[in-house]
Structure formats: C-alpha cells, structure tokens
Amino acid sequence: MAKMLWRAFSLGFGCFVLNVCNFAWPESICLLITLVLFIALLVLTVVAGISGFKEWRKCSRFWAAPSLVCLVCVVAAFFWAPPIGEAISDRIFERHVIEYSKVVDGIRNGTISCQTPCEAEFGFIQMENKPTHVRALLGARCDDGGVSVLFLLNTDVILHHEGYLFRNFGTKSNCNPGKMRSELDKYYIRHIAGPWYHFSD
C-alpha cells in the first residue's frame, strides 16, 4: 500500500505541475506528458480501489487512501492548476506590457501600419521587431479613435491560438459590429486589467 501511495503522490504532483505549466505557457511536450500522466492516474485510481477492497482493508483502516489520493490529485490538476497557471501567465504579461503598449500607441497614431486596410476589422501588422514571444500581430482602427490589437504568442502547440488582446473603443464605434466582432467571438477571452485581455481557443 505504501508503494501505491508513493506512486499516487508522484503521478498526481507531476500532473498538477505540468497542467500549471500548460496554462502559464502551453507547449506540446507538456500537453502530451500531462495527458499520459492523467491516464496513468485514472488507471491507478481503479487499481488502488480494487486492491484496497480485496486486500488492504483486511489489515488497515486506511485501505482507501491510495485511491482517494489519486482522486484528489485529479481534482487538483484540473480545478486548482488552471487559475494558478493563469496567474503566472498574467505575471509574464506584466513584465512585457510596456512593449505591447508601444505597439498599441504606434497603431493608434499611424506610425505602425497594416498590410491590409484595418478600418473596423483586423489586419496583419507590418513590424520587424515584434514584442518578446509574439509571433504575429493583428490590429484594427475604429472611427472613434479607439483601437483593438491581437498579440498572438509563439507557442508550438498545433492549431492552438493564444495571446493578448488590447481592446479600447466605444459602444457606438464601428469596431463593435461586423467582421471584427465575429473574429473575437472565436476565442475564450479573460480580462486581465484595464483594456487588456488574455485570449485562447
């Protein structure tokens, strides 16, 4: 039983830490290992439950402890790890927010241009020196002087889009309806502070 407890703690801790990393900065290898550990944890829960019921309950009052530890680890990994990872992600963003703000100012005053017209809809931004960890930039100018900018992060997860959004325009702005709004509806958007948001799909 002691060995099973040790395995449960080890798998659970690994799954928890890696899932924190997945939300702080997603990487393919972390996602893959997290999936493997999660499956192993579920298998261990069943094995520990069967072994406890058949063997350990004859000699210990804590025969259910290994399977309970596994279940707690599963809950921790998928309910407690995400907010911790998001908090770490926000701290990373705060370290680079000045770089991002300079891009926003450049788009607003016209010193940074779009590859296509970006009036009330997102267009790719022409920029050689992008902010740290940013793979692509999309921006839109609004008729009330507001702007919206997507900073797409450079992660290696296939078909995954994640980054930061600056959104600052009025309710009557031409940026509210139309193509730009439908573009934003594709993402899960989480507010960080002020006009800054984190987005992912």
What pLDDT is attached to residue 177? Answer: 66
Read off the pLDDT of each residue in 179-191 and give the average, rounded to a whole number. 74
86-102 average pLDDT score: 92
Angle, helix 28-54 to helix 2-24, in steps of 10 degrees = 150
- Give pLDDT tens digits for 120-157: 888 898 888 888 889 999 988 888 888 999 999 988 88
pLDDT of residue 42: 87
Between 73 and 179, name the one with better pLDDT: 73
Above pLDDT 70, what percent of the chain?
Answer: 94
What strand order describes the sheet that includes 147-153? 123-124, 134-141, 147-153, 162-168, 196-200, 188-193
Secondary structure (3-state) at 189: strand
Burial class (CB in 10 A: 0-12, 13-18, 19+), 186: exposed
Model confidence at 183, pLDDT cuts 50, 70, 90, reads low
Domain boundaries, the chain: 2-92, 112-200
AA letter at 166: F
Average model confidence (pLDDT) across the chain: 85
Residues with Cβ within 8 Å of residue 82, at least 6 apart in sequence: 19, 23
User: Is residue 179 pLDDT above 60, yes or no?
Assistant: no
Query: pLDDT (tens digit, 9 = 90+) per residue, 163-177?
Result: 999 988 887 888 876
* β-sheet bridge partners, residue 199: 163, 189
**Can you give the pLDDT at residue 118?**
83
Those residues with Cβ within 8 angstroms of residue 15's Cβ, 6 or more apart along the chain or in another chain = 34, 37, 38, 41, 73, 74, 77
- CA 158, CA 17: separation in Å to the nearest integer? 21
pLDDT at 99: 92
